[in-house]
A and B are shown apart, each in its own frame.
Chain A
Amino acid sequence: MTSSGTSFRFTKGKPRFLNNRHQIISRHALPWLFAAYVLALIPHYAQIPFWLMIFAIGNLVWAALIYLGKTDHPNIYLKSGYAILLSGLFIFDFYHKYNVDSAVAFLVLTISLKLIEVKYRKDCYLFVFIIIYLISTNFIFSQGVGITIYTLLVMLIALGAVLTLESGGLSTPIKEKLRSLTKIAVITLPLMLVLFVFFPRMTPLWSIPLTTGEATTGISNVLSPGDIANLSQSSDVAFRVTFVGAIPPPAKRYWRGLILDKFDGRTWSSSKKSSPVMPSRIDTGTLFSHNKPGTYQILLEPTQHKWGFSLAGAVSDSSNIRVGSTGLVRFKTSIIQPTRYQIRQQGGIPSGLALATKKYLQLPVNNSNPKTRKYIQKLLLEQLSPTAIIAYLMNNFRTQPFYYTLSPPKTGSNFVDDFLFKTRSGFCSHYAGSLAYMLRLAGIASRVVVGYQGGEVNESDQYLIVHQYDAHAWVEAWLPGKGWFRLDPTAMVAPSRIEKGLESAVAGEKSFLSGRFFAAARYNNIPLIHWLRLKVDALNFKWQKWVVGYDSENQSEFLSSWMGVVTPQKMALIMTLSGAFAMIIAAWLFRRFEPKTRLSPEIRYYQRFCRQFEKKGLSRAMGQSENDFLKQIHDKVKVPALIQAADSFTQTYLKIRYSANFSNADTAHQEKYLMMLRLLKKQYVITKYQLLTYNIK
């Protein structure tokens, strides 16, 4: 190990601690740093701007050249000039954009600059710390099992760099370091689990910038024709549902999310901003032990929005949500983490209308869609009852040549006209949007509902997976005496969409996940892939439920289900006990990892030699010398052949054992040593066979 650069605080007469912060680090640490750097950047490739990625790769090449000795460390002027240039670019790019993306980009900028500068111990540690913080941001963007294992491994590799600084000399092989790392990681696991379960979860200390504006997934609060068709190309999971009791049939799985009541001739949107929702404290919720009949639990993937989903007739059954007057689920904050909530099924769509009649009859002020208006006016002239009009219009979708397609032809500014009378092919948003418009023209209060429909049942684990491609839009209409009720024009056009899901509805045009070559759901027709996908999803579901979704609520529920009322004293006791338990496991694991002291082969032969004699009643006393034991054999044994065998064996043994040449497996004498061992083995076998036929009295 190099000692150059080691500096000490000089005080005569007393040994001082090593102060080697400015020690130049060993070359051997650098490959670890490079590996950690590359692996830390990979999950962020989409988040950081292109120019930064180019510089990040460029800096790696630069650092590699320094490592290989092709160039020197940059001097202070070059270094600061370069840093100023990159910081300038960064400020230019991210000016006034404070979100997680810019924070990640900043961290990437910092480590890529630090990489070309890593020279001393202190740099190495700083680098490792920044890397670890950077990889922790992986979890803000995704929370799967895979990314978790990946991130923890990258952290271990980063720590491998500082382990390299502190372990062994140059000769320590990489295998040895990996072994040390594994050992430390395995010993740490029980401790980590204890902390994870018992460490008290707190509410956020201050508000934080949201991830990003554009990274929202799932449905949005505006619906233009063709909007949901984009979602149909995504096989991501929107949410998963577990029911107490039977899973309802597909035709009843309408997951309401948003009500759109404002139409401008082309786009449906929400008339009011979603008001801040106070969490209801009616029910403490029982998320942990979910067994109340008539309830279901939803684990929602992050949407970056405040809305949740439920079947019609929902009552809040957990404290993190509120069900509004329109029967929609709302959270108090945007969902940036997978979130669990519980719903009690009761009744149907809430039928409060009186105050809002005008809202649900609103029509665009401009004179768009003349054909449609004329069409409805003609219908109204026939003096049909509202029920009959609804029936007529719905029937119209079935009887007329309408097509259900994921790639509808373009429509002009009068979208409803074009769709109803010209193209006649579209997606659920086309059908729902135009039907609600026609109903309003006919004086029937109506609104578009956006959410999901259907879902895939995971048979083995009995839960429902709702994917993004299950996104759907339908219509709710209101009639006096009947209240709100659901109308789904898509069901008229493509009944298989409702009954069997999107995949079978678009089987004819083969457009299901056509753009997603790697989506496993695309290969549902291959049984093995289908089975495997559901298994992986079940694992992910459990992971989301028990690990990712383990929040303060779950924690207090889990703890109280375990030890009754949670008091600080009990908590302290439990933490101490489980900490001690983790330490005992750690101590046991230490022993497991301890290198076994293997006796050298000649000693093992000698022990076997002694055991053979012991079987015949002649045992070697503790600490008795080899020659002494041989003498004992001479005295007791009267067979010359056996004596001779024991003699030669002992002689060979002593020669190997106490000759300086063979100490510590001297490599120079390896050959001779092995030869002697073979001889010893032969002599042992001879002695053994001599003993077989002989009994010592």
Chain B
Amino acid sequence: MKTYSKYNGPRVTHFQKQFQKWVSRRIPPGKTAILNQKNIFIMPTREGLGLGLLLLLLLLTAINYQNSLIYLLTFFLGGIFVTSILVCFRNLEGLTLAFTEGRNCFSGEKAHFLFKLSAQEGKRYHRLFLSNEPESYQWINIDNGSDQRVILFTQTRCRGIEKPGRILIETRYPMGFLRAWSWLDLEAVALVYPAPVKGVKQRMAKGESDDSHGKSFSPGDDYSGVRDYIAGDPPNRMAWKLFASKGELYIKNFEENLHSTAWVDYNAYPGINMEARLSYLCYELLEKERKGDSYGLKLPGKTIEFGRGDVHLTKCLSSLALFQSEDSFKQLDNSF
């Protein structure tokens, strides 16, 4: 089995490790994070260092020309730098970042995470930069205490639980001489399903049938009237024409439908690597859902009974995503 490491970045030095430990001690994970003195860092930027050089040059000029007014200008500019520290800090202080929703995706796609960024009442925030990954970032301005939605993503590479990692929130307001930032660890998760791949069922060749409910892949079209709508019925089976004339929802009944229920079985692909099998199963599930079939999922140690509809599909896909990582289940249960 090929192992996928989440953090396949450059080697982390001992110092960096210690630093990250220190950061996690200082900013512990939580569902929401409020920015305050404890978790805001502030340092001069490259431009701020440039300003420092300019101040030094001005001071030298003032000293050499014994010029009080150049001293005055220098102190004014230096004072503005000091004031900027306060202004910059206040441009983060009081913000609340809360995780609202993780959008599940298939492996290889982007997993999106939704956050709510709320301002302190009546306060205005300028040009906040939020990012969790180099390509996933967002600029945000907040006028007078409103809430803003932040969407960040991660590029997924393997199925499982996806976390956005620490979220950087940064500002350089007012003049870019200083950078105030925080790394927030929000307990944000999204599930990554296996990438759907069409597989060849070996059991067909062998004539072996674990499909106790008969035909599975032939799309049926023996129309056999309608029945009342039950919540969860697929929309593509609705009798729209009847709805138009009678104003009530009906579901078209197909004779073969009753028989096209089938197990989606992990054991149907013997001798194939686990991740590939899961991808095949994923494809099967999606295909069945698309056709409106009723289906169940059999995984070693876990069986999901027949059903259909979005909720059912999500349940099945989630099982694939978390397959053989039971500890992840617990994690997930805790976090939901």
Q: A133-B57, A166-B127, A169-B141 in contact; A195/B176 too (CB < 8 A)? A: no
B165 touching A13 by the CB < 8 A rule? yes
Residues in A whose Cβ lies below 8 Å from that of B165 = 13-15
B22 interfacial by beta-carbon distance below 8 Å: no
Min CB distance B151 to A, Å, is 14
Min CB distance A525 to B, Å, is 34
Residues in B whose Cβ lies below 8 Å from that of A686 = none
List residues of B (169-221) whose CB comes within 8 Å of A's CBs. Answer: 170, 172-177, 179, 181, 183
B133 touching A12 by the CB < 8 A rule? yes
Option from A11, A206, A550 in Cβ contact (under 8 Å) with B10: A11
User: Which secondary structure dominates where chain B touches chain A?
Assistant: mixed
B86 touching A1 by the CB < 8 A rule? no
A592 interfacial by beta-carbon distance below 8 Å: no
Residue of B nearest to A548 (CB): B68
B131 touching A15 by the CB < 8 A rule? yes
B9 touching A13 by the CB < 8 A rule? yes
B64 touching A132 by the CB < 8 A rule? no
Residues in A whose Cβ lies below 8 Å from that of B145 = 597
Residues in B whose Cβ lies below 8 Å from that of A595 = 122-124, 144
List residues of B (153-179) whose CB comes within 8 Å of A's CBs. Answer: 165-168, 170, 172-177, 179
B242 interfacial by beta-carbon distance below 8 Å: no
List residues of B (34-88) whose CB comes within 8 Å of A's CBs. Answer: 46-47, 50-51, 54, 57-58, 60-61, 63-80, 82-84, 86-87
Residue of A nearest to B57 (CB): A133
B306 interfacial by beta-carbon distance below 8 Å: no
A203–B67 Cα distance when bound, in Å, is 11
Option from A121, A192, A597 in Cβ contact (under 8 Å) with B76: A192
List residues of A (163-190) whose CB comes within 8 Å of B's CBs. Answer: 163, 165-169, 172, 180, 184-185, 187-189
B90 interfacial by beta-carbon distance below 8 Å: yes
Option from B65, B87, B167, B175 in Cβ contact (under 8 Å) with A336: B65
A547 interfacial by beta-carbon distance below 8 Å: yes
Residues in A whose Cβ lies below 8 Å from that of B144 = 595
A168 touching B82 by the CB < 8 A rule? no
Residue of A nearest to B75 (CB): A195
B80 touching A18 by the CB < 8 A rule? no
Residue of A nearest to B10 (CB): A11
Min CB distance B124 to A, Å, is 7
B72 touching A590 by the CB < 8 A rule? no
Q: A1-B139, A12-B133, A14-B166 in contact; A136/B83 too (CB < 8 A)? A: no
Residue of A nearest to B167 (CB): A15
A581 interfacial by beta-carbon distance below 8 Å: no
A162 touching B176 by the CB < 8 A rule? yes
B176 touching A204 by the CB < 8 A rule? no
B73 touching A139 by the CB < 8 A rule? yes
A166 touching B76 by the CB < 8 A rule? no
A3 interfacial by beta-carbon distance below 8 Å: yes
Option from A16, A126, A192 in Cβ contact (under 8 Å) with B134: A16
A17 interfacial by beta-carbon distance below 8 Å: yes
A13 touching B67 by the CB < 8 A rule? no
A143 interfacial by beta-carbon distance below 8 Å: yes
Min CB distance A627 to B, Å, is 25
A10 touching B170 by the CB < 8 A rule? no
A12 touching B134 by the CB < 8 A rule? yes
B302 interfacial by beta-carbon distance below 8 Å: no
B50 touching A188 by the CB < 8 A rule? no
B82 touching A11 by the CB < 8 A rule? no
Q: A196-B71, A664-B146 in contact; A132/B54 too (CB < 8 A)? A: yes
Residues in B whose Cβ lies below 8 Å from that of A15 = 131-134, 165-168, 183
Residues in A whose Cβ lies below 8 Å from that of B183 = 15
B131 touching A139 by the CB < 8 A rule? no
B254 interfacial by beta-carbon distance below 8 Å: no
Residues in B whose Cβ lies below 8 Å from that of A368 = none
A620 interfacial by beta-carbon distance below 8 Å: no
B327 interfacial by beta-carbon distance below 8 Å: no
Instruction: Mark B266-308 against chain A: 1 for CB-CB distance below 8 A, else 0.
Output: 0000000000000000000000000000000000000000000
Q: A14-B165, A15-B165, A162-B176 in contact; A188/B82 too (CB < 8 A)? A: yes
Residues in A whose Cβ lies below 8 Å from that of B87 = 184
A287–B335 Cα distance when bound, in Å, is 74
B interface residues (Cβ-Cβ under 8 A, vs A): 6-10, 46-47, 50-51, 54, 57-58, 60-61, 63-80, 82-84, 86-87, 90, 121-124, 126-127, 129, 131-135, 137, 139, 141, 144-146, 165-168, 170, 172-177, 179, 181, 183
A interface residues (Cβ-Cβ under 8 A, vs B): 1, 3, 6, 8-18, 21, 121, 125-126, 129, 132-133, 135-136, 139-140, 143, 148, 151-152, 155, 159, 162-163, 165-169, 172, 180, 184-185, 187-189, 191-192, 195-196, 199, 201-206, 208, 336-337, 547-551, 586-587, 590, 594-597, 664
Task: Apart from A15-B131, A192-B78, list 4 A-B contacts with CB within 8 A.
Answer: A13-B6, A132-B77, A140-B67, A155-B76
Q: Across the A-B interface, give the 6 residue pairs with the lowest CB-CB distance, nearest first.
A: A597-B122, A15-B168, A188-B79, A195-B75, A139-B69, A191-B79
10 contacts between A and B (CB under 8 A): A11-B9, A11-B10, A12-B134, A17-B181, A18-B131, A159-B80, A166-B126, A167-B127, A204-B64, A204-B66
